[in-house]
Chains A and B, each alone.
Chain A
Amino acid sequence: MATTAVPRFDGSNQRPNIPTAAVRLPAVKSYEQVDEEIMRTMRPTLGWFAALGIAILCMLAGATAWTYQIHEGLGAAGYQPPVMWGVYIITFVFWIGIGHAGTLISAILYLFRAGFRTSIYRVSEAMTVFAVMTAGLFPVLHLGRPWKFFWLIAYPNWRLIWPNPKSPLVWDVFAILTYLTISSTFLYIGLIPDIAVLRDREKNPVRKAIFSQMALGWRNSDNEWRHFTRAYLFLAAFATPLVLSVHSVVSFDFAMALTPGWHATIFPPYFVAGAIFSGLGMVFTIVIPLRKFFKLEHYVTLNDLDAAAKLCLFTSTVVGLAYLTEFQIAWMSGNGFEQDYFWNRVFGQWAWAAWIMLLCNVVLPLSLWSQQLRRNPTWLFILSLFINLGMWFERFVIIVPSLAHEFEPWQWGTYRPTFVDYSILLGSFGWFFMWFLLFIKQLPVMAISEIKEVIPPKLKRPFSFAHDLTEGIVDPDEVGAMH
């Protein structure tokens, strides 16, 4: 299942930023060590309880603000014509984007046999599921009567009304529900062999019973692995176009509207690249502290961070090119409204937001051209915080100035988020991190069976790394004579 079955031990003097997809974990010596060190991360600590408490408090702040909003109406969230999409839709797109890097790492890089994904894909995949769960809340929060959200789902009903299949909002429902289902299935399927490891090592009878149920009676037999690896491959093959389609569909929410700054064919690739970029930022935000606190530096190596940083740099340049292309399209379109909007974007009312976006998403990631900085976890963590900030502001820049600066001056207006918006934004982070923190203490943060696949197995004849089928059967008596 892992991407690289045979590590290379050619002894060549390679540069530290390995140019190949090979993954090496020289400090990991045996399968038992993998079990021991990864299961050790599941012991609760005081720091974990403190972090969970903070996350729950943030979530409660958001829940309280939502309750207030339901009582007062959507006006409490600062909506006023013409800006009727604000922090909620910005944050919805932000969290959907965060989810994309998880699928990129777990599915797309799996198909590309990129070895560096092995130690970070479980965390990224869990991040995807929780980010999509968080994103899915925002269209509901944005409804005046959120308890009627299920009207968007196509099912036979007493109202005899069906949703409009030509509406981008209905496409969103199909895309996001499919994405949530497939990504959570993908996460669970990958977890089954690891849960079997937990089941076999667990001493507490209650937890053992729970793990036994969750492992579905998995026994690591060749028949199970044969079907499992094939199913995993096909799920990855499904998830790859799915991840591209989901953010394309999200971009259609904007591109289908006749609004300056939105109605552009560049939106799907622009959104997908931005989503992967922002998700990689969040992967660094999560993985770098995790490897430090759990002492897993020998699993998530500098080579892995280096490779992920290169991907981050690449997507940053794609996003930067998309920003420039937007301006170029406006300039060459001859459309005064479009040109005026883009002028307003960088020199108008919300110019500060556009410059924060450009600084965080285009300028600062240029530092990743330096190999020294790509291999510096502290810098990568700091940069990831800027990327998260920059990508939130990217969505702000797309949504708010466009709605506030439409075709005619009488349509122009302003938008001021209120404490309800900010509380719900904070609450979304609390909700996300609450699930994530619960996950890392109940289930392995790394794929135990995949890591075992990339470390050399224990051999009787260490002079040959793998069994050579051309040798035929090696009789133990002959081997004894050879030595």
Chain B
Amino acid sequence: MQGVLGAFHELDAAIDAIEALKKEKVGEIAVFTPTPRHEFDHVLAHPPSNVRRFTLAFGLAGVTFGYWIAIWISDYWPIVVGGKAIETWVPYTIIGFEVMVLIGGLATVYSMFGLARIPRLTMTVGYDPRFSAGHYGVWVKTPPDRADAAAAILEKFGAEEVRRER
């Protein structure tokens, strides 16, 4: 992967640089930030995460399975008490709810892993340990002929370090 990386110590400088890079259309932009900042969400304008779809789908699957297993157990091993139904949905709501939370919660986590592409065995190009401390990284994936333009923008907006990676 070829591109240019700029390391910024100031948030607003990184934001300005991203806006300028977007305006110049020099390449695909990724940001490394020690903490999530709404400013980056706004400037990068990514669509909402799809985690919610997995949460909903597996939550519904979980509640269905929870009710089903309770009903199936009651049919398989009936405990017959005079005047009472073999299956009763009110107490089974507890099992349905708990299984919904369990399956829905775990699906949320695993979908986050999948969408965020983790676990990752190696650090891909562009990462620097400073980005988990106090620096912001702006990575521009760009072909060599546009790299100079990208580097010039990053430098102009105050990047502490600009380096080309391949």
Contact surface of A with B, Cβ cutoff 8 Å: 1-2, 5, 30-32, 35, 154, 161-166, 170-171, 174-175, 177-178, 181-182, 185, 189, 193, 196-197, 199-201, 216-231, 234-235, 238-239, 241-242, 245, 249, 449-450, 452-453, 457-461, 464, 466-467, 469, 472-474, 476
Contacts and interface: CB of A to CB of B under 8 A. Distances in A.
Question: Which 4 A-B pairs rank lowest in CB-CB distance, beginning with the nearest?
Answer: A217-B120, A231-B112, A200-B129, A31-B134
B74 interface: yes
Most buried by B among A170, A193, A217: A217
A452 B105 contact: no
A181 B15 contact: no
Most buried by B among A182, A189, A228, A234: A234
Contact of B52 (A234, A466, A476): A234
B73 A458 contact: no
Nearest to B120: A217
Contacts, number: 214
B51 A230 contact: yes
Nearest to B102: A178
Contacts of A466: 11-12, 39
A449 to B, nearest CB: 5
B41 interface: yes
Contacts of B51: 227, 230-231, 234
A460 B131 CA distance: 18
Nearest to B36: A225
A463 B160 CA distance: 21
A217 B52 contact: no
B161 to A, nearest CB: 16
A219 B120 contact: yes
A404 to B, nearest CB: 29
Nearest to A469: B42
A253 B73 CA distance: 21
Contacts of B124: 219
Contact of B99 (A30, A170, A174): A174
A443 to B, nearest CB: 15
Contacts of A164: 73, 79
A249 B40 CA distance: 43
B108 A449 contact: no
Interface in B105-154: 105-106, 108-109, 111-113, 115-124, 127, 129, 131-134
A223 B116 contact: yes
